[in-house]
Amino acid sequence: MTTSAQVETPRRRRGRNERLATTSSRFTRALGVIALLMGASALLLALVISPPEVTQGDAVRLFYLHVPLAVAGGYLGVGLLAVGSIGYLWKRTTFWDLLAASAAELALIFTALTLLTGSLWGRPVWGTYWEWDPRLTLTAVLFVLLIGYRAMRTASVDPQLRARRSAVIGLLAAADVPLIRMSVDWWRGLHQTATLNPLNPSLDGMMLFTFFWSMVSFAVLFLWLLVHRFRVAWLEEQLADRALDEAIAQRRAEAPQTP
Amino acid sequence: MSDVGFVAVGYGVTAVALAGYAWRVLARGRRLSALVPQERRRWM
């Protein structure tokens, strides 16, 4: 006996098709809601609840934005770019290439925002928007390398060549991150040293909590964006494959038939 | 510009940039999903 649940009516089929016609899933919807709630609470903490700093005043609120952006872009984004690049050079599969490309795009956006928010924070605190300080300069180099990575992905036509060359640039960008991390210890500059030392935290109370909450919020947001961006990249790949299949079929059809 | 002004510009630009990017990615995903056959839409 056929129940109504088993019958696929045109309406049900259309509904299922519409549900699938998106890069969302139950997981990403849940993650998106969590990211939204965490982001809203991080904003409340950073802009309203946490107190102004003794010397920096309200400018310290940019710290809760600038550092999480830098960590998400530099460590998560470029870290995953490195993982994807190594994975591709080792396994030569599309998955790793698309993971690297998706992470690189997000790393580029987060690094751009890191430079912007750092500049906005620097003006009231240091008295200048920009200084050729080692950390700032190396972060700018990372930004340029990520633009190079993006340019490589749009410039090359051959997918394998593109993936191979992109992976090499991705690894170059990744090599810059430890230099950024250590630059404040190795060279003298304007930028402060590491904000948090686990053995001797210089922040406490509400400021420390706000900082950690912002870090986790940006990490969740990054993950949510990454999953969607990866799925878009996957769809682009499927379309490119289909276009190639159709072009080959067309050429075969046009070729003269041998008796 | 006061400290609050720098804070407002920083948070405002970041929010607009990230929301705009998220919107663009979701919209592109929706558009491409409609073009790719259903059996090839899933990624894992």
Reported ipTM: the value is 0.92
| pLDDT the model gives residue A1 | 42
* Mutate which: A231, A244, A246, vs B, most B CBs within 10 A: A231
Asked if A109's CB is within 8 angstroms of B17's CB, the reply is yes
> Which residues in chain A have Cβ-Cβ distances shorter than 8 Å to B24?
none
**Total CB pairs under 8 A between chain A and B:** 99
**Quick check: B38 and A232 CB within 8 A?**
no
DSSP notation for chain A: ---TTT---HHHHHHHHHHHSSS--HHHHHHHHHHHHHHHHHHHIIIIISPPBTTTBGGGGGHHHHHHHHIIIIIIIHHHHHHHHHHHHHH--HHHHHHHHHHHHHHHHHHHHHHHHHHHHHHHHHS-S----HHHHHHHHHHHHHHHHHHHHHH--SHHHHHHHHHHHHHHHHHHHHHHHHHHHHS--SS-S-S--TTS-S--HHHHHHHHHHHHHHHHHHHHHHHHHHHHHHHHHHHHHHHHHHHHHHHHHHSPPP-
Across the interface, of B7, B22, B26, the residue whose CB is closest to A62 is B7
A21-69 pLDDT, tens digit per residue, is 677 788 889 999 999 999 999 999 999 999 888 888 889 999 999 999 9
Shortest Cα distance from A167 to chain B (angstroms)? 21
Cβ–Cβ of B38/A239 closer than 8 Å?
A: no
CB contacts, 8 Å: A121 with chain B: 6, 10
- Chain B: closest CA distance from residue A30 (Å): 15
Beta-carbon separation of A65 and B11 below 8 A: yes
pTM score > 0.90 for this model? no
Give yes or no for residue A105 having a pLDDT over 90: yes
Interface membership of B36 toward A (CB under 8 Å): yes
Residues of B within 8 A of A244 (CB-CB) are none
Cβ distance B10 to A116 less than 8 Å, yes or no, reads: yes
The answer to whether residue A125 scores a pLDDT higher than 50 is yes
Domain boundaries of chain A, sorted by first residue? 28-191+205-235
| A contact test, residue of B1, B3, B39 with most A CBs within 10 A | B3
B17 interfacial to chain A (CB closer than 8 Å): yes
Of all residues in chain A, the percent with pLDDT exceeding 90 is 58
Q: Evaluate if residue A4 carries a pLDDT over 50.
A: no
Query: What pLDDT is attached to residue A200?
Result: 53
pLDDT of residue B21: 97
Residue ranges in chain B modelled with pLDDT below 50: 44
A159-217 pLDDT tens trace: 899 999 999 999 999 999 999 988 888 877 777 766 666 555 567 788 899 999 999 99
At position A241, the amino acid (one-letter code) is D
